[in-house]
Amino acid sequence: MMILRAIFLWLPTAIPLMAQDFSALARVDMSASQIIDTRRGLSVELALSQVVPYRVYMLDAPTRLVLDFKEVDWTGVSEPALLNADRATGLRYGSVETGWSRLVIALSTPLLIDTAGVVVDQNTGTAQLSIDLAPTDPETFAANAGAPVDPTWGTPRFPAPPENPDGRLIVVLDPGHGGLDPGAQRGGVKEADLMLTLAREVEDALRRSGQIVPVLTRNDDSFVSLDARRKLARAVGADVLISLHADALTEGQATGATIYTLSDEASDLASQQLATKLSRDDLLAGVDLTGRDDQVATILMDLARQETEPRTATLAEALVEGLGQQGVKLNSRPLRRAEISVLKSPEIPSVLIEVGFLSNDADLLALQDPATRNRFVGGILRGVLLWSISEAKTDARRLR
Ligand SMILES: [Zn+2]
């Protein structure tokens, strides 16, 4: 059997010459779409309202099939309707970055792409994407897994540093999750949506302070990897990164605002659970962790971290103080540590605020209430300003 490592399809030049609107999104026709077991493997059928460029590849640990499209509207798609197979255990779908879409199929067993192709109906312009997967062994799978290297697909485009003539603090606000990673969900509430709302409210308050230039890592419902969020902060010259979350944690009955800073060792079980959960969210959304260059320049990064660590600790304390002053309900142990990759910038003080936990009824209600959110907004602003005062004092001491 020929092994196809990854398959690309770019817009064919000879597609039906009819009223094709390529700016429109392709819709999924659920009546002609399904993911089912075959005799030995798996069959993926997706009926699209028009042909779009796509690519398909496998990722390992966990075993996944990833389909990227330019671009699909997932309205009406549901996992129970689409997925009816034992060799596939779950789906994630949604936008990954403005301009493209992703479907991730979690596999229960190693499978490789046997055939993949699109048939376009000459009369209607609709497209049928068919992928057949055949069984393989874990070693062959691992050897063939990995995202294809193509800079035009999914390489995040980072914004340039913002205009900042009077040298204000640049604060990157990072609303957690988004796109095919909704984060915690409870009673119709998605953490990704809630955090975007909160981040926009904080952004507004920081800007109005006249002392801070805020930048958001995402300003729509699209997926951005933890790594890309960190890199964006660096690209815009951030002085501070504040990641906003409200996860659902089962460990230790988490409730109340909690501020996490980076550590290779989790401060407790709940912190460990959070770190594992966040990196798993990234993986399930189709992030390829093979071939990462994080080990490069480790010593230099360690040196920079030594300098940044006390500043990060001061930032976390200032945020606890600011939130407390605004009457925000804090966790009984509001300062915690965990190995979370979005916090790994060696030179930028970075914190992750769990503003509350969607797993807790009181927190869930509080976060949906604009008046309560306003306390978070005030508390974060207050915390950042308190921190900047202490930074200015440190700078002044250094200059003496
Ligand atoms: Zn989260």
Residue among 381, 259, 243, 258 at smallest CA distance from 314: 259
**175 C-alpha vs ligand 1 centroid, how far in Å?**
9
Say what the pLDDT of residue 306 is.
Answer: 83
**30 C-alpha vs ligand 1 centroid, how far in Å?**
30
pTM: 0.85
CA distance 394 to 316: 16
Longest pairwise C-alpha distance within the chain = 78
**177 C-alpha vs ligand 1 centroid, how far in Å?**
6
One-letter amino acid of 169: L
Rg (alpha carbons) of the chain, rounded to whole number? 23
**37 C-alpha vs ligand 1 centroid, how far in Å?**
33
**249 C-alpha vs ligand 1 centroid, how far in Å?**
10
CA distance 146 to 144: 7
**389 C-alpha vs ligand 1 centroid, how far in Å?**
29
pLDDT along the chain (400 residues), means of 10: 54 41 80 96 96 90 92 93 96 83 96 92 93 96 85 71 94 96 92 98 97 96 91 95 93 85 89 90 82 57 82 97 96 94 93 94 93 97 96 74
**282 C-alpha vs ligand 1 centroid, how far in Å?**
11
What domains can be seen in the chain, in order of their start residue? 6-144 (2.60.40.3500), 169-286+297-399 (3.40.630.40)
**319 C-alpha vs ligand 1 centroid, how far in Å?**
18
**184 C-alpha vs ligand 1 centroid, how far in Å?**
6
**210 C-alpha vs ligand 1 centroid, how far in Å?**
29
Say what the pLDDT of residue 317 is.
Answer: 97
**212 C-alpha vs ligand 1 centroid, how far in Å?**
25
**381 C-alpha vs ligand 1 centroid, how far in Å?**
21
Say what the pLDDT of residue 303 is.
Answer: 74
**183 C-alpha vs ligand 1 centroid, how far in Å?**
5
Say what the pLDDT of residue 249 is.
Answer: 85
Question: Which burial class, exposed, middle or buried, applies to 269 when counting CB atoms under 10 A from its CB (0-12, 13-18, 19+)?
Answer: exposed
Q: Which residues, 6 or more positions from 338, have their beta carbon under 8 angstroms from its beta carbon? A: 260, 262, 263, 266, 267, 271, 272, 274, 275
CA distance 67 to 64: 10
Pairing of strands 240-245, 169-175: parallel
**130 C-alpha vs ligand 1 centroid, how far in Å?**
34
Look up residue 242 and give its two tokens. 């504040």
- Which residues sit opposite 106 in a β-bridge? 64, 90
